[in-house]
A and B are shown apart, each in its own frame.
Chain A
Amino acid sequence: MASKKIHAIYTDDDLLLQAVKQTRAANYHISEVFTPFPVHGLDHAVGIAPTRIAITSFLYGLTGLGVAVLMMNYMMIQDWPQNIGGKPSFTFYQNMPTFIPIMFELTVFFAAHLMVVTFYMRSKIWPFKKAENPDVRTTDDHFLMEVDADNHDVEKLTKFLYDTGASEISLIENEQDH
């Protein structure tokens, strides 16, 4: 099915934010917004759910801590319980003070890297990924709002978007949905 979208370009973030609020209030569906920088409050105005990426980071951190404890317990206490400079190697907790620096570092290492990898995967960005912003000016100083036009009167919607302050409005027709 062919899908119709309208791209409205704004030249100011305040204008965009206001337009997003008006468009939502008029019950039009905003399918995407492209901005050159993070606009404070935009995610809330568009109505997207909060991200859970910090929670994943916490879990990854716990994983890192677990890896560190298991690794050092196995190597230092189980496998080769040696006397190195009189350090007590009988149980894990007796020698734990010297393990803490590495427990800490591995916690941070896992939490940071796995979260970043999660971010790249969830946002689908990687080195040879092709950019998908429909207008190159949206990384400079233009703001683009994409509105679904399938079930609406295009003329009316265009007029509405023009009234919200859009400086350019264009109708996009895609052959396939995505």
Chain B
Amino acid sequence: MSSHYEAPIREPLVLGEKSYHDISVDVGAPVLGKANKSWWIVFTIALVAFLWGLGCIIYTISTGIGVWGLNKTIGWAWDITNFVWWVGIGHAGTLISAVLLLFRQKWRMAVNRSAEAMTIFAVVQAGLFPIIHMGRPWLAYWVLPIPNQFGSLWVNFNSPLLWDVFAISTYLSVSLVFWWTGLLPDFAMIRDRTTSPFQKKIYGILSFGWSGRVKDWQRFEEVSLVLAGLATPLVLSVHTIVSFDFATSVVPGWHSTIYPPYFVAGAIFSGFAMVQTLLIIMRKVSNLEAYITVLHIEYMNKVILLTGGIVTVAYITEYFIGWYSGVPYENYTYLSFGAATGPYWWAFWALIICNLIVPLSLWVKKLRRNIVWTFIVALIINIGMWFERFDIIVIDLSKDRLTSSWTMFQPTFVDIGTFMGTIGFFFVLFLLYARTFPVIAQAEVKTILKSSGESFKRLRAEHGDDHSHVQTVEEYPADAGPAANVEDKHFDSAFDSTDAETENNEVDFEAHRGKIDNLLSGVGTFDPAVQKQDDLKKISGVGPVMEMKLHQLGIFTFEQVSRMTDREYDLLDEIISDFPGRAKRDDWAGQALMLKNKN
């Protein structure tokens, strides 16, 4: 069908011979399976960091802000640095899910779910700091304009710190419903695939009873589009408002009209760096390399390059205007000769090297498509963007108008511990998410499979654009029991039901006796007395029918499948001729090896 046409120049976004069912299986696997050892190790480390941070927060609130390294001149340092850093990280998620949706970028579909999760979890971390950096956090509810017994004493709507309250809470709540609405069909998929009654109950509640009616989908798509249209200005406004905390002040170096767009560009820059960091690990750990491909990584690197370029232009502008203004106070702002050579020279140069110089390497295509290098650059950018906020806040405050109040800032272990705690909390949430949520928007990936899937692109290249894309799928009954109302497979009185299909399911033993022996000699035989049979259906590409056939041949374990080489694949194809080449394309042996090691 021509509706699936896509220019041949575009690289495939879904690798391998995937069917719709394969996507469900691959996305559902981390949720339906068990966590491995490395997950528990990383989770424990994150949990310890989180608990340590929690201790620091409790210590701060019960003892007083004085346990931090702040002084009379520098009243904001690590607290607000971390706040802006976390908010910035959150922005890439909304950018991916909203802005790229408006631009109809298909590649966003494999990354948007995790990017949005990252947004939510990062904004949760960010949201902690405005509370805990308060001297009297138990009065935090006074920032809300609630009618009260003080003659109804209201808040002052002139303050950017109050705008922050509105911006962050709107941002968090809108991101949350945007994410959750997108999750409904995927939760429904898990609900309908799981065999555990507990999971069925939980995902039944989480999926809000999503049934996938055509009218529901129509509304769903409209809602997604409108939310994307709302989230795009929202994401720009939120970091703009955060930048107003500085830009509307009279502090030299802070008072600058370039901040709103420059902060937003920096937010996208650092946010994408964090997405890269997380997804490069996740695609490996969750076996999602067929969906989060090198192409996705390259695209994100290009966004990093673009926003990094915008940030660089902003740095140069700041530097130039600092000199051009002729204001002597600007000599000591965070991007000035004073900063480059002053006591915070190391923070200044860390910023320049991490944000300006290192990302330039991504102009080289080889490096841009190199996963290890991307990972390193992403980490460096995250560090650099932390320094950017630190430089803006601390350098500008440390040398203000009166020389008598010039000072330096020294963090205490509580400052550092709180920051470490939020990183731990972030990873606790993200790791739990990766085990319980469908990390790829499978319903969305299924919509691009026929236009951007590798196998379908190849079919079009071989057979022309008008080639039919109707898939022949293996017939199988529903995993969790038969279809609700169906008694027999077909309504069989109306037409002649031949038993051709059931006949096909039988392997013709006599004809293939020699080949079967040959095959078993390669993979080894199964002894029911000492061995246990595995669920071969866990291998992507093996359905109940194929499993039955393998059983008939005498293949029952992952161990046997994992020993298959090209010779065995060919033999298998000759014996079972239904899906020639399938076993090899899906790399059954490799999959079985992994499954075997998991058990």
Contacts and interface: CB of A to CB of B under 8 A. Distances in A.
Interface of A: 6-7, 9, 11-15, 32-43, 46, 48, 50-51, 53-54, 57, 71-72, 75-76, 79-80, 82, 84-85, 87, 95, 98-99, 101-102, 104-106, 108-109, 111-113, 115-116, 119-120, 122-141, 154-155, 158-159, 162, 165, 167-172
A55 B473 CA distance: 41
Contact of B157 (A37, A41, A76): A76
- The secondary structure that dominates the B interface is helix
Given A105-B170, A128-B209, 20 more contacts: A9-B483, A14-B1, A15-B470, A34-B211, A34-B214, A38-B220, A41-B3, A42-B214, A51-B215, A101-B244, A102-B166, A108-B170, A109-B174, A113-B177, A125-B184, A131-B192, A136-B483, A137-B478, A139-B188, A155-B494
Contacts of A51: 215, 218-219, 222
A172 B485 contact: yes
A95 B156 CA distance: 12
B212 A139 contact: yes
Classify chain B's interface size: 35 or more
Contacts of A126: 208-209
A108 B483 contact: no
B226 A35 contact: no
Contacts of B219: 51, 53, 119, 122-123
Nearest to A35: B212
B364 interface: no
Given A35-B214, A75-B145, A116 B177 contact: yes
A131 B218 contact: no
A108 B485 contact: no
Interface in B469-508: 469-471, 473, 475, 478-481, 483-491, 493-495
Interface of B: 1, 3, 19-21, 24, 145, 152-158, 160, 162-163, 166-167, 170, 173-174, 177-178, 181, 184-185, 188-189, 191-193, 204-223, 225-227, 230-231, 233-234, 237, 240-241, 244, 442-444, 446-447, 450, 468-471, 473, 475, 478-481, 483-491, 493-495
Contact of B167 (A33, A39, A101, A111): A101
Given A99-B157, A128-B205, A40 B3 contact: yes
A3 to B, nearest CB: 13
Query: Which 6 pairs of residues, A with B, have the shortest CB-CB distance?
Result: A129-B209, A141-B20, A136-B192, A158-B494, A135-B483, A75-B154
A46 B209 contact: no
B158 A37 contact: no
Contacts of A54: 222, 225-226
A36 B189 contact: yes
A110 to B, nearest CB: 10
25 contacts: A7-B485, A12-B469, A12-B471, A14-B450, A14-B468, A34-B212, A37-B20, A38-B220, A53-B219, A57-B230, A75-B154, A75-B155, A80-B154, A101-B160, A101-B244, A108-B174, A115-B227, A116-B181, A131-B204, A133-B211, A139-B189, A139-B191, A140-B20, A155-B494, A168-B489
